[in-house]
Amino acid sequence: MMSSPLPTLFICLFYAYFSKVIGPKLMENRKPFQLKNILIGYNLFQTLFSAWIFYEYLMSGWWGQYSFRCQPVDYSNDPVAMRMANTCWWYYFSKFTEFLDTIFFIMRKKYSQVSNLHVIHHGCMPFSVWMGLKFAPGGHSTFFALLNAFVHIIMYFYYMVSAMGPKYQKFIWWKKYLTTFQIVQFVAIFVHQFQLLFTDCDYPKSFMIWIAIHGVLFLFLFSDFYKAKYVAPSKGGQNNFGLCMSVLEEDHHTHKKTDSGTLNNTYIKSDLSDSYKACYSNGTTNGYVFQTNVTQRTNAKN
């Protein structure tokens, strides 16, 4: 995989084609899959995997050995340097495991979540990380991966609890702060990278600029999501087309009795779902709310 960029490039292109063409075609005449238990297990795995990657980045240099001001790449065979390179490889591998986010959307027919920006982001990340792993497996820009792994610990834990249903969703009242935390992450990333413009540091400037641009881009996109979701949700019916890993919306339950005295629930589309449908989350909520069967209510009036 590391000897040539072609395998990674091929996988990324196939992922994009599968996400937009093959996957929806395969699901065309199938009912959406119910993946509650699979999603819980998947998010648990991603939480633990991200925690291990974060720990390895710390032990490979960021816990006391690396400088936050300037950290050149150690290309030697030193055990610590080799451990850092190994951690970078696993971080690269994790970008492929995140393709499952998209596959689960497709299997559940949540096509609005598989936006072009979502696919472009997931499709580009493995190739982008490949370049860093190939030419700079360590050093200053691994701070991006360190922070990203830490955020993923919290994020996938959130998704896991959300996938467990309304009984447990009361424990994730802090979802608004997760989005804020993600924004702070990107501020820290581009500030950490751009400081090299004013420091004499033996680190490839091209990678510094590349990672910093990522930080700036995602900062604006997450900020756009935050404003659409918390500052002015659904104002004027505007959609949020930002490329964001959105936090999940709990299911809202409204139970009403029919004339026969029985509970009759159907799903209708939430008014809030359109405000962030172009963002990508982990697919553990439906974006629907319960409401009494409208047809039966109409018939009862007649």
- For 299, the 3-state DSSP assignment is helix
DSSP 195-210: GGGGS--SS-HHHHHH
Extract the tokens encoding 97: 């495991």
Please determine, for residue 36, whether its predicted confidence score (pLDDT) is greater than 90.
yes
Active site residue 121: yes
Task: Give me the residue label for tokens 């069967």.
Answer: 293
Task: Give me the residue label for tokens 């629930």.
Answer: 265
CA angle 265, 271, 276 (to 5 degrees): 120
> What is the separation, in whole angstroms, between the first and last Cα of the chain?
67
Of 16-30, 52-66, 92-106, 181-195, least confident by mean pLDDT is 181-195
Contact yes or no for 43/157 (Cβ under 8 A)? yes
Please determine, for residue 214, whether its predicted confidence score (pLDDT) is greater than 80.
no
122 inside domain: yes
Of 1-15, 89-103, 140-154, 200-214, least confident by mean pLDDT is 200-214
Name the range with the highest mean pLDDT among 39-53, 115-129, 132-146, 265-279: 39-53
Task: Tell me the average pLDDT across 51-58.
Answer: 98
User: What's at 185, amino acid-wise?
Assistant: Q
Name the band, by pLDDT with cuts 50, 70 and 90, for residue 106.
very high
Containing structural domain, residue 54? 6-301
Question: Total domain count for the chain?
Answer: 1
DSSP 241-269: ----BPPPPPPB----B-TTS-B-EEEEE
139 inside domain: yes
169 inside domain: yes
Q: What is the pTM of this model?
A: 0.75
Contact yes or no for 272/253 (Cβ under 8 A)? no
254 inside domain: yes
**d(C-alpha 228, C-alpha 195), whole Å:** 31
* Mean of the per-residue pLDDT values of the chain: 78
Burial of 45 (0-12, 13-18, 19+ CB in 10 A): middle
**d(C-alpha 138, C-alpha 207), whole Å:** 11
Catalytic residue (one of 121, 122, 152, 214): 121
190 inside domain: yes
Please determine, for residue 123, whether its predicted confidence score (pLDDT) is greater than 50.
yes
**Percentage above 70 pLDDT, the chain:** 71
Find the radius of gyration of the CA atoms of the chain: 22
Extract the tokens encoding 81: 């340097």
Q: Which of the pair, 276 or 200, is modelled with greater confidence?
A: 200
Closest Cα to residue 133, out of 65, 73, 80?
73
81 inside domain: yes
**d(C-alpha 240, C-alpha 234), whole Å:** 9
195 inside domain: yes
Task: Give me the residue label for tokens 């962030």.
Answer: 276
237 inside domain: yes
